[in-house]
Structure 1
């Protein structure tokens, strides 16, 4: 038990260290990559990556199901061995199917990417697609190892491996970009890193954890149970892929690679917000499944407390990022991150980031739904959101490009996540959302002073050079941190900040 507590605490700490390093690397590497590739090739790279990302749907939601069935069979090694064997067999088959599908799709680049691309862009898109298909196939098989490591709560290894992957990629790619290599070399390096991560993951699972595995008996009844549970996870994966990638496909048909590049930058900014949000909640996913498996119908109070606890921390962290981006984001994108041709990415990013704050501080609820096998309703709601997103985004993208596409996504997120899912959490999952939002609102005092400072900076400070920008940003961060610590954090959160809290696991 002590080891699990230490893994949990170390996992949270390493998650934030990894997140911080990841963001620093992105802030240094991405601007260089965008400029060296050029707006057109970066847009093409972003578009192809989004399209190939759809092949990850060949996991069919089985990865998300593993934690639940692991918690169910953990005490029975024979059933756990059969479960592992079944998952390995499934993912090997699915990886082959994904590869074949990707190769077939590569023969129809014009139909997939749109008529706005030139002949040279179409040719390069086909090459990028074939390499990324191999990457997806390897990642599919590797994902089951990731799930196993998470199920055994080996967060230290998982975070260190993830951090190593993040570090290696840009350190290898950057010299190659400076030497004149383009997007093709980037995806080659990415694929090699994925392969190495797969090998290390496999070694850890078989040699260190010593997972039980058996291929002798393929339990079709168990597969049926897993398939039924995973079916809505699979549908949800489809919906998520559409929600976050369909805008680029729409822009490919209505605007071309330059608007895709603008949207790609906005999407990168939104991705940083997502990274911060899942840093804590991903560590607690196994704990959620244990609560659901062990406590039966008495989970409501535990889930409510856990969701409020995690949500408050996510809210205060994302508050800094959101406020900081509103004040400093435009200068950051135009003068530091992407370049003068990407000013519209600031507005597009605001439309993506602000509506997403609600689901980002509640994303632990996704794990709760899965643990309770009540994730079907969320999938249906997201399906409706997706239809609305596509229907609204097409005319908006035709009129306003990347900003219009982001507006369509913003509207669907506000309705679905902001209203409908909160009612679902309260009425169906029996999580006290009134208590949750009261806990969030208790932090309001800490936001007063930073808000005043933000307004002052926007109205009175002109970022004439990088020095003024950095000094203003540092002042804002210090004021925000001090105000939140004094007026918003409760005792447990203050102790956590000062490194004295021990995360408890029941």
Structure 2
């Protein structure tokens, strides 16, 4: 049943991701035009500020899964109930802190966001900060329930609920925007949807999974151990905030909301790009923690690391080359000419994340082995360098300068140094990993040649041409990967389900 959950979870992950992209393609251009560039930029700016409060969860979500796995191996339901109670208490307190911080930030919006904002924008920002902080606090409160569902590998339910949220958000928000309520209405609706979805998750845990809580006799020694374990995840979260959100904040202070809007659109597309990679690896998180808890077999971990990495590389290389060859006309047709500057920002951000996105499962391997301290310290140093470089480059070159600084930091940290650490300390055979990845290079020659030809010979700034030739490029890429890149294991991932479906259809 667990294997079925993993397979179904992975399939539903991609279905939900495809649904999210479809919804985004339809909804985002409408939303951008209804909000206007300045209001969208303001929403992105405030969201980036409030997202810093997200680090207050201290990485306890991943910590919960690790300690749940340890107790589950021993079938220790008593300690699992205590663990549930302790984490619910912790997240409830953090939620209250987030609400308080949101109120304080809202009351001081002018100081926080800088002088480039108009008086009307500052007034809106105050309200947005408080609403988005409340939304975040609700997510914190329910983090223990979401983590419990993940730890129990109930991926089918989890992904189905996520798909409901994907559809509900634009369907319910669009009427609000059409009525003219703008970014504030959008934030309120997002919060209402979050309350409903988190309520469903909570009900499922309590009624279906029989989740129990004990709010006394907490193991303080265990709490101390978890805090130490989470400290480095917390540092990691700070680093991620600096790398992915500080650029918008700096652009808001130096250049106002329009610069934030241009960068924000590129960052939004890049988020979808990154989510492609994390989707597959996310369903293997409990398995990695369980494997380390039982045997800590480096050969098996290298196998998982490589298999997932190859699957991620195939998808990533399609997405990245698609961005490079079709990103500029796509942004022009989709968002409008006002967002043409988003293209170079998107290319910089997406290209820099190649190594890290095909090695996302490595983060969980480090956490499972309690070896994430080095990564956290390294990333903290790299993030400081990123911030120092982003300030002058953002002032001079706006979004492109900020994106370049972020890209450089990610390549150095995630690329060169972390691969050395994986190989020499964590026990992952990185030489074997990259040998398997480089095996895809012959399969990339034909798609790249096709992309160059299409860009030089075809006008992609018409919807019909764009759709036809983007579709043709995808077919060329898939064919090239199938015949020149994929191994038997990877082909069987598609063959076996296809055969089962065909056999049922024929019968």
Shorter-chain TM-score tier = over 0.9
Report deviation, 1:236: 1.0
Runs (5+) with no aligned partner, structure 2: 500-507
1:96 corresponds in structure 2 to 96
Contact 1:44 1:257 in 2 (8 A): yes
Query: Equivalences for 1:334-413 in 2 at 5 Å?
Result: 334-336=332-334, 338-413=335-410
Contact 2:329 2:461 in 1 (8 A): no
Which residue of 287, 293, 302 corresponds with 1:304? 302
Contact 2:16 2:159 in 1 (8 A): yes
Report deviation, 1:464: 4.7
Which residue of 306, 328, 331 corresponds with 1:330? 328
The number of equivalent residue pairs is 497
Q: Equivalents in 2 of 1:210, 1:230: separation in Å? A: 27
Q: Equivalents in 1 of 2:207, 2:101: separation in Å? A: 33
Contact 1:311 1:361 in 2 (8 A): yes
1:220 corresponds in structure 2 to 220
3-state DSSP class of the match of 2:353? helix
Q: Equivalents in 2 of 1:179, 1:261: separation in Å? A: 22
Q: Equivalents in 2 of 1:227, 1:186: separation in Å? A: 36
Q: Which moved more, 1:55-64 or 1:129-138?
A: 55-64
1:37 corresponds in structure 2 to 35
The answer to whether the aligner puts 1:142 opposite 2:142 as a matched pair is yes
Contact 1:62 1:230 in 2 (8 A): yes
1:426 corresponds in structure 2 to 423
Report deviation, 1:388: 1.1
The answer to whether the aligner puts 1:106 opposite 2:106 as a matched pair is yes
2:65 corresponds in structure 1 to 67
Q: Equivalents in 1 of 2:413, 2:157: separation in Å? A: 36
Report deviation, 1:491: 0.7
Report deviation, 1:378: 0.6
The answer to whether the aligner puts 1:237 opposite 2:250 as a matched pair is no
Contact 1:113 1:253 in 2 (8 A): yes
Q: Equivalents in 2 of 1:271, 1:464: separation in Å? A: 24
Q: Equivalents in 2 of 1:253, 1:464: separation in Å? A: 34
Contact 1:397 1:403 in 2 (8 A): yes
Report deviation, 1:230: 0.7
The answer to whether the aligner puts 1:474 opposite 2:489 as a matched pair is no
Which digits, 9 at most, give the CA deviation of each residue in 1:277-334, with x for residues without a partner? 11100000000000110004xx211110001000001000011111111111001101
1:285 corresponds in structure 2 to 285
1:46 corresponds in structure 2 to 44
Contact 1:351 1:410 in 2 (8 A): yes
Report deviation, 1:498: 2.4
Q: Equivalents in 1 of 2:115, 2:375: separation in Å? A: 35
Q: Equivalents in 2 of 1:383, 1:87: separation in Å? A: 26
Contact 1:59 1:140 in 2 (8 A): yes
Contact 1:492 1:501 in 2 (8 A): no
Report deviation, 1:179: 2.4
Which residue of 448, 453, 458 corresponds with 2:455? 458
1:444 corresponds in structure 2 to 441
Q: Equivalents in 1 of 2:98, 2:257: separation in Å? A: 26
Contact 1:269 1:349 in 2 (8 A): yes
3-state DSSP class of the match of 1:180? coil
Contact 1:98 1:133 in 2 (8 A): yes
Moved over 6 A (4+): none
3-state DSSP class of the match of 1:65? helix
Runs (5+) with no aligned partner, structure 1: none
1:262 corresponds in structure 2 to 262
Q: Equivalents in 2 of 1:435, 1:4: separation in Å? A: 29
Contact 2:393 2:402 in 1 (8 A): yes
Report deviation, 1:212: 2.8
Report deviation, 1:104: 1.3
2:250 corresponds in structure 1 to 250
Which digits, 9 at most, give the CA deviation of each residue in 1:95-134, with x for residues without a partner? 1111111111211111211110000000000011111111
Q: Equivalents in 1 of 2:461, 2:162: separation in Å? A: 38
Q: Equivalents in 2 of 1:415, 1:236: separation in Å? A: 15
Q: Which moved more, 1:84-93 or 1:215-224?
A: 215-224
Q: Equivalents in 1 of 2:496, 2:29: separation in Å? A: 34
Contact 1:138 1:195 in 2 (8 A): yes
1:208 corresponds in structure 2 to 208
Which digits, 9 at most, give the CA deviation of each residue in 1:134-158, with x for residues without a partner? 1011000111111100000000001
Report deviation, 1:501: 9.5
Q: Equivalents in 2 of 1:173, 1:217: separation in Å? A: 45
Which digits, 9 at most, give the CA deviation of each residue in 1:327-380, with x for residues without a partner? 1100110111x1111111000111100010110000000000110000011111
Q: Equivalents in 1 of 2:90, 2:415: separation in Å? A: 36
User: TM-score if structure 2 supplies the norm length?
Assistant: 0.96
1:189 corresponds in structure 2 to 189
